Copies of this chain bind each other. A is one copy, B any other.
Amino acid sequence: MINFQTSPEQYKHWRLSIDGPVATLSMDVQEDVTIAEGYKLKLNSYDLGVDIELADAVQRLRFEHPAVQTVVITSLKPRIFCAGANIYMLGTSSHAFKVNFCKFTNETRCAIEDASAHSGKRFVASLNGTASGGGYELAIACDEIYLVDDGNSAVSLPEVPLLGVLPGTGGLTRLVDKRKIRRDRADVFSTLAEGLKGKRAKEWGLIDDYFPTSKFQEAVAARVNTIVGASDTKDFGPGIKLGPLQVVTTVDARNYKYVRVKLDREQRYADLTILGPEADLPTTPEDLQKLGDAYWPLQAYRELDDALLHLRVNELEIGLLCIRTEGQIAHVLAVDKTLADHKDHWLVREITLNMARVLRRMDLTAKSLFALIEPDGCFAGNLLELAIASDRTYMLNNPDETIELAASELNACAFPMSNGLTRLQSRFMATPAIVGEILNHVGRLGTEQAQGIGLVTFAPDDLDWEDEIRVAIEERMSLSPDALTGMEASLRFAGPETMDTKIYGRLTAWQNWIFQRPNAVGEHGALTNYGKPTQAQFDYKRT
């Protein structure tokens, strides 16, 4: 059972230190502290446990240290920044684990870029030694990259030449799309096991600069000072503490304060219920700051995030989430109003950005999603996103009960998908005017209205409801889980593609293909053979 919760006091592999506007996040991987048996995390290589700490640190920097303007990512090991994902870990992992591991590490790197783009934090990769594979992919997720020139240290992506797999944590995409490296140079670099050192790495755009060992720390510090001096980020005052989430688990349930997961292992689906906010929550930033991590939109979405990660990694056979909400629409809309009214306040901004990230995590989850809209539900505003993030939406049609949906102004642009569109835009590609209609609609939408406007897939009546849902679940769970993953990944992301969707779509799908191929994972495959005296043997047919 993999646990995604941690905190700086518990870190085994990272040290987080704060010095006014500068945070330093130092990697110092303990080679024996692994989340599985059979490998050692040498040379600052990482497994999922290391990356869970990194994700936690990036998250805490936003909430607990809002005044930080620059985050320096570096290593405490001599001559090595990071050797990337541990190869023996990859070689001994199941296909499903490899895929989930890569998805999580990708999300962490996208979270770094999200903090850079929206939270006024600039990330500096201070490569005091070689950054290879996932090590360079971590660096390239930062805004700036500086490499020590010690005659030995290099940046490299040795996955293709050494392992027969891709640098799949965004590396290939960020080379040509973020750093806009010329594609022929990207080709050379990505096939060169030893990588490139300072001068040529800078000439080709792989790093921003390089400095001799004796001047390295000083030069990076000078650059950090320049960034801090140029920053217009204001002093946000004290942050709020992200306390541990309380979760009660039984053999088939996982209950947080606002999120309940109930597993039907035999049928391979889970009921995922989100409880709406209480009445009369604070409405001023000062009061929100006091409430801190107990404020519903922060706590409920942190719980939802943890539940999604748990379901992805620890409950592989659960193929479908039936998503319900319980609570008062008015209370959800009141929270959305507070978030909209104070959207420029740092804490409100961070809370909203976090909600957006959790919703993107949901879009990227390889499980079918059915939203079930019933009496006492509160699919309104931010929770309406859960309904339109779902692959299908079922809404009970019973005139004797109050069953409603409602939009809020947060549905207009607060929660962009990875493709840059809102979920309403993605849903109404053919009829974009309906997006405005829904956003401008005063009041709530009953079942027939919601179905008429296109927010609902099916609206069975009271007599049919249970049977229809039961049959839909049974049918869904009879389908090939692989075909569903590929289908959902295609249908959920209509419209434009961004660097993020290229990473989760094109790059990841190719990597997953390669992760299945005998040339990588077969008896004589390159990944299997790594570190052994035998040579990899390839079937050279090109496909």
Contacts and interface: CB of A to CB of B under 8 A. Distances in A.
A345 interface: no
Contacts of A488: 187
Contact of A181 (B430, B485, B509): B430
Contact of A483 (B159, B430, B479): B159
B392 A482 contact: no
B506 A489 contact: yes
A543 interface: yes
A200 interface: no
Contacts of A454: 182
A205 B430 contact: yes
A484 B514 CA distance: 10
A490 interface: yes
A367 B540 CA distance: 11
A183 interface: yes
A480 B165 CA distance: 8
A100 B173 CA distance: 24
B491 A172 contact: yes
A130 interface: no
B176 A494 contact: yes
Nearest to A515: B513
Given A166-B486, A391-B184, A319 B191 contact: no
A496 B495 CA distance: 11
Given A182-B454, A187-B392, A490 B517 contact: no
B482 A161 contact: no
A160 B480 contact: yes
Interface in A139-178: 159-161, 163-166, 172-173, 175-177
A360 interface: no
Interface in A245-286: 268
Contact of A513 (B268, B481, B509): B509
Interface residues of A, number: 92
A2 to B, nearest CB: 15
B188 A494 contact: no
B96 A184 contact: no
B429 A180 contact: yes
A426 interface: yes
B495 A177 contact: yes
Contact of A491 (B176, B486, B501): B176
A85 B361 CA distance: 35
Contacts of A191: 475-476, 479, 487
B479 A542 contact: no
Nearest to A167: B487
A48 interface: no
A506 to B, nearest CB: 4
A535 to B, nearest CB: 10
A507 B491 CA distance: 10
Contacts of A393: 184
B506 A543 contact: no
A543 B485 contact: yes
Contacts of A511: 486
B512 A172 contact: no
Interface in A109-134: none
A540 B510 contact: no
Contacts of A183: 391, 426-427, 491-492, 494
Interface in A488-543: 488-497, 501-502, 505-507, 509-514, 516-517, 519-520, 526, 536, 538-543
A515 B72 CA distance: 43
Sort A-B residue pairs by CB-CB distance and give the 5 closest, nearest first.
Answer: A164-B480, A509-B509, A486-B510, A180-B430, A497-B497
